Structure 1
């Protein structure tokens, strides 16, 4: 790994810690514990940091990633091709599709859909990479960043009724 790659990895971890804090905030508010950040890759500016609000908004589309896209798009317009998404959870098919439409450059996530299925924390067994491939999109994906830290968000809700 080059020095530049090591620095980028540290940045991913820093952004993931922010997403994790958003996920913690989500749990405190009575939501599902998902957090997301959208960052302009070339300068590291965070343009959105948020969490899921499905329960408090009574809106099943209010996933952390969708909320982040909405915030970032208000600031930058609908083309987010200079940005990456950092999320505590692999984007679901709905969120992955929205990220494709937003032309996001890359996705960095912590806990995979496969791992979430084992915890009873998701319903649809379709990875973001499968969806990106089927859409012929050119979004890169970085997996497993701070996974052990972020998985605690989902384990803490395991005994509660799944979504």
Structure 2
């Protein structure tokens, strides 16, 4: 089994929690899922974790963020996730961004942009309009190089596997 590829030593909370999200993403990398991971934090403690399980569950909604929000709701016994921060290795899609608004997280921190589906300005910007009842603080690019590296390596591996299938 290939070891986790990142060694990051930091006292910065954003880096510390994003590293945990990267560990979640690494789980999916090894299982041929797009490597996206998420952790939900409240009062400086991780209360939920999630990683992409779209292929495994055959469910287009089984994104890391969605699974993490669901686990967070179970942990807090409430759909309202106020006073929480969601750390995600990739910019959320519109479905996940909508779920974040509805669940009322306070802060979103993410690593890599997603030009194909990103809902924080890379494709569309669902957070640009002031929401009538809730606003999310956003920090982007936290461990973005590491998050991008994992995604690039995954898709490089996938392309090589497909080329191998064609040559057989």
Name the TM-score, length of structure 2 as normaliser: 0.79
Q: 1:15 Cα shift?
A: 0.3
Other-structure match for 2:3:
none
Other-structure match for 2:30:
28
CA distance 1:83–1:153, shift in 2 (3 Å): same
Query: Number of matched residues?
Result: 143
1:110-121 equivalent positions in 2, closer than 5 A: 110-113=111-114, 117=115
Q: 1:134 Cα shift?
A: 2.8
Other-structure match for 1:72:
72
Unmatched runs of 5 consecutive residues or more in structure 2: 1-10, 160-168
Other-structure match for 1:93:
94
Other-structure match for 1:132:
127
Name the larger-Rg structure.
Answer: 2
- In the alignment, does 2:139 pair up with 1:142? yes
Greater share of residues in helix: 1
- In the alignment, does 2:51 pair up with 1:54? no
Native 8 Å contact 1:30 1:56 kept in 2: no
CA distance 1:75–1:126, shift in 2 (3 Å): closer
Q: Please give the per-residue CA displacement for 1:54-107, whole angstroms capped at 9, x wherever unaligned.
A: 011110100000000010001111000110100000111100000000000000
Q: 1:125 Cα shift?
A: 5.3
- In the alignment, does 2:156 pair up with 1:154? no
